[in-house]
């Protein structure tokens, strides 16, 4: 893994300051290995689009070094572009062209494109072949955007928020397409602000906030890094709102906080904590109203690191 052959994308000290002194990216280091699906996870405005567009050679970085499959921007741009499939965050493709015409056009830009029929079939667009792009649903449009990337027959796929705004079903369809591409040896870099997407789809990821990497690694590493990676959430009678101290003494409890009137315990082993919790409530002559346990998620990692939620909306 450490040989340079295996690194598909590398960037060092990436910075981007927009006009008006907006520091969108403030020194980012990334190494994306060939064959993996790498995710940039972060809230809106974190600098994900800026980063991915710099890597795609569409934006000039203020400073920093970039290497893509051993190539550098400026030296052999056309060659690099032959290797990349790109879907931008927001592209409104020509509305009055059909799906087939759109893909045929994009295929013509590449030396070794994939057969259009094959790509349409893979993205479930075959039946829409002769439909105008303007008449497609949101999910179909997004699949077409990914199809224009796949028709390039790329080695690396860059996807900027490919599933934002899609219904759950369309999201899953796209996840499947991405996995299929990866299984055939492709490398994927995607950005997302959905933590479940990052968790389920990405082999490794970088959580970015305010233009900086605040955590990196595999999703499970990061969640385990929290230490107590289970959450026990409960509500009971006979407990005083805001009074969290009594629960700290329970076995295996890490952090405690209150959310929506419920007490949330971060615990290492639920099977040790829960019996003790029930006993403690009984001691206070209380009555359990609600109890759930769940695995910690990347959302919890983000909350732990920043004190904020990924999606504030």
Partner 1 sequence: MNNQFEEDREDRNARVEGPRSDEHGSGSQVSNLDSPASAVRPIIGSRDRPIPQSPAHPITRPPGLPITGRWRSYQLLLLARLKEMYREPEVIFWVFIFPILLALGLGIAFRNKPADIIRVALVDGPGAAHAMELLRPASAAGTVKAVLLPAPEAFNQFRLGKYDLVVTPQAGGFEYLYDPARPESVLARSTTDDALQAAAGRKNSVPTSGRISSEPGARYIDFLIPGLLGMNLMNSGMWGIGFALVDLRQRKLLKRFVASPMRRSDFLLALASSRLVLMLLELALLLGFGAMAFHMHVAGSWISILTISTLGALCFGGVGLLTASRAQKIETVSGLINLVMMPMWILSGVFFSYERFPAILQPLIKALPLTALNDALRAAILEGAPLTHQSGRLLILGLWGIVCYLLALRWFRWT
**In the complex, which residues of this chain contact Mg ion (CB under 5 A)?**
48-49, 89
- The residue among 176 and 259 lying less far from partner 1, judged by its C-beta, is 176
Q: Which of 79, 70, 74, 135 is nearest to 102 (CA)?
A: 135
Q: Is 76 in the site for ligand ADP (CB under 6 A)?
A: no
User: Pick from 8, 11, 14, 24: which binds ligand ADP (CB under 6 A)?
Assistant: 24
Select from 109, 103, 108 the least CA-distant residue to 128. Answer: 103
Question: Which is closer to Mg ion, CB of 89 or CB of 98?
Answer: 89
Alpha helices in 151-218 (DSSP H): 168-183, 195-201
Is position 263 an interface residue for ligand ADP (rule: CB under 6 A)? no
Identify the sign of the CA torsion 118, 120, 123, 128.
negative
Interface with partner 1, residue 69, by CB under 8 A: no
CB of 49 to partner 1, least distance (A): 11
Among 78, 112, 245, 261, binds partner 1 (CB under 8 A): 78
Give the long-range contacts of residues 215-221, CB within 8 A, separation 24 or more.
Answer: 215/301, 215/305, 219/298
Contacts of 296 (CB under 8 A, 6+ apart): 223, 226, 228, 229, 230, 231, 266
Strand 287-295 relative to strand 212-217, pairing: unpaired
Beta carbon nearer to partner 1, 135 or 257: 135
Nearer to partner 1, 87 or 213 (CB): 87
* CA–CA dist 216, 39 (Å, integer): 10
- x/- letters, 137..176, toward partner 1 (CB under 8 A): -----------x---x---------------xx--xx--x
Q: What residues make contact with partner 1 under the rule CB under 8 A?
A: 56-59, 78, 81-82, 84, 86, 88-94, 96-97, 100-101, 104-106, 108-111, 115-118, 120-124, 126-127, 129, 132, 148, 152, 168-169, 172-173, 176-177, 179-180, 183, 200
């Amino acid at each position: 893994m450490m040989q340079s052959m295996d690194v598909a994308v590398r960037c060092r000290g990436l910075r981007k300051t927009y006009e008006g002194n907006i520091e969108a990216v403030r020194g980012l280091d990334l190494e994306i290995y060939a064959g993996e699906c790498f995710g940039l996870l972060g809230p809106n405005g974190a600098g994900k689009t800026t980063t991915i567009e710099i890597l795609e050679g569409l934006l000039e970085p203020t400073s920093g070094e970039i290497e893509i499959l051993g190539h550098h921007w400026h030296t052999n741009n056309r060659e690099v572009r032959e290797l990349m499939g790109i879907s931008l965050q927001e592209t409104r493709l020509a509305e009055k062209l059909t799906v087939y015409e759109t893909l045929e056009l994009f295929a013509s830009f590449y030396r070794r494109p994939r057969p259009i029929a094959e790509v349409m079939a893979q993205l479930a667009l075959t039946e829409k072949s002769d439909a105008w792009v303007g008449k497609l649903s949101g999910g179909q449009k997004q699949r077409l955007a990914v199809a224009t990337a796949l028709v390039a027959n790329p080695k690396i796929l860059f996807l900027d928020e490919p599933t934002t705004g899609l219904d759950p079903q369309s999201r899953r369809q796209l996840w499947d397409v991405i996995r299929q591409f990866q299984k055939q040896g492709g490398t994927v870099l995607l950005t997302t602000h959905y933590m479940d997407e990052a968790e389920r789809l990405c082999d490794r990821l970088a959580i970015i906030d305010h233009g900086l990497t605040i955590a990196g690694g595999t999703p499970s590493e990061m969640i385990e890094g929290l230490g107590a990676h289970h959450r026990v959430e409960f509500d009971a009678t006979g407990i005083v709102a805001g009074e969290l101290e009594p629960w700290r003494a329970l076995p295996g409890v890490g952090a405690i906080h209150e959310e929506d009137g419920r007490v949330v315990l971060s615990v290492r082993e639920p099977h040790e904590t829960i019996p003790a919790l029930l006993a403690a409530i009984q001691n206070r002559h209380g009555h359990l109203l609600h109890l759930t346990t769940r695995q910690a998620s990347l959302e919890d990692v983000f909350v732990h690191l920043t004190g904020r939620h990924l999606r504030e909306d």
